[in-house]
Amino acid sequence: MTTSASPPPAPIAFVGGGNMARSLVGGLVARGRAADTIRVAEPVAALREALARDFGVRVFADNAEAVAGAGTWVLAVKPQVMRRVCEGLAATAQAARPLVVSIAAGITAIQLERWLGGGLPVVRTMPNTPALLGAGVTGLYANARVDAAQRADTEALLAAAGRTVWIDDEARMDAVTALSGSGPAYVFLLAEAMQAAGEAEGLPPDAARTLALQTILGAARMLTEGEEPPAELRRRVTSPGGTTQAAIETFEAGGFRDLVARAIHAATERGRQLSAAND
């Protein structure tokens, strides 16, 4: 008795071959996805050549050629050109009815669906730059046309970049962008400030850098690898009357929590403005 082999998966097409798309392509290939089922449209020849060379995927200069026959389209272009790209692919989208996955900040699922002609399953996602190391986190929102299998496929795709979190209300995706999409920059700013402060206290630059970065890395591991909430970890390291308490009291007196809240609110509002500006 013979059994028929399972059909190969429908191709995935990436429209845009920048850093985030590259990280997802690399993650898919590393997890066993056949490279010849991945297509990437990218106008910059050097980026196309690097993707083909490094991962063995099929590359195209033309968006329409890349998406032909693909069951999933990953839109990985800048927000300011997303409308033009979508409208250029609208006729193909209406004929093919693909699952559309966007990784563009500030562009809503409603906008994407409208620009592509309507009636399509769309997942809006917001990954962050640690995805380039497979250590990112991605917020995902699915419109009502996305079925359970498509949600699972999208989650598997973005899992190549790290953890995933589903958001039920798309209005909250701007907060995802503000918290985690932009969040690595906040940590980088903290690292800059810690290193500079260490140098101001007389530490050599190399030593200050190593001490600051490894402290952030170690603290992040304690947060992610244990069960204790941040407040408890902070309490444990803050001895009464000690050096840490002196620093924490200075942060609190300077309005640290309120400053963080205002910064994330400002980023959330900016995300809403970007959506309106690209409509």
**For residue 184, which of 50, 20, 27 has the smallest C-alpha distance?**
20
Residues, the chain, total?
279
Six token digits for residue 161: 């970049």
Sign of CA dihedral 98, 103, 109, 112: negative
Where are the CATH 1.10.3730.10 domain residues in the chain? 183-276
The string of pLDDT tens digits covering residues 37-73 is 999 999 999 999 999 999 999 999 999 999 999 999 9
CA 56/CA 49 separation, integer angstroms: 10
CB 112 within 8 A of CB 142: no
CA distances from 204 to 153, 193, 201 (A): 49, 15, 9
Amino acid, single-letter form, for residue 218:
G
Residue 142 bridge partners (DSSP): 123
User: Which residues, including other chains, have CB under 8 Å from residue 167's CB and lie 6 or more apart?
Assistant: 139, 140, 141, 173, 176
Position 31 pLDDT exceeds 60: yes
Position 1 pLDDT exceeds 50: no
Which of the four pLDDT bands, split at 50, 70 and 90, describes residue 271?
A: confident
Higher pLDDT, 182 or 271: 182
CA 158/CA 142 separation, integer angstroms: 13
Architecture of domain 12-173: 3-Layer(aba) Sandwich (3.40)
Six token digits for residue 110: 């409603």
Q: What is the pTM of this model?
A: 0.88
In CATH, 183-276 is 3.10.310.10 = no
Per the prediction, the chain carries an average pLDDT of 94
What is the rounded radius of gyration, in angstroms, for the C-alpha atoms of the chain? 22
Where are the CATH 3.40.50.720 domain residues in the chain? 12-173
Position 4 pLDDT exceeds 60: no
- CA end-to-end span of the chain: 58
CA 174/CA 107 separation, integer angstroms: 10
Six token digits for residue 199: 């140098």
Three-state secondary structure string covering the chain: CCCCCCCCCCCEEEECCCHHHHHHHHHHHHCCCCHHHEEEECCCHHHHHHHHHHHCCEEECCHHHHHCCCCEEEECCCHHHHHHHHHHHHHHHHHHCCEEEECCCCCCHHHHHHHCCCCCCEEEEECCHHHHHCCEEEEEEECCCCCHHHHHHHHHHHHCCEEEEECCCHHHHHHHHHHHHCHHHHHHHHHHHHHHHHHHCCCCHHHHHHHHHHHHHHHHHHHHHCCCCHHHHHHHHCCCCCHHHHHHHHHHHCCHHHHHHHHHHHHHHHHHHHHHHCC
Position 8 pLDDT exceeds 80: no
The string of pLDDT tens digits covering residues 133-172 is 889 999 999 999 999 999 999 999 999 889 999 999 999 9
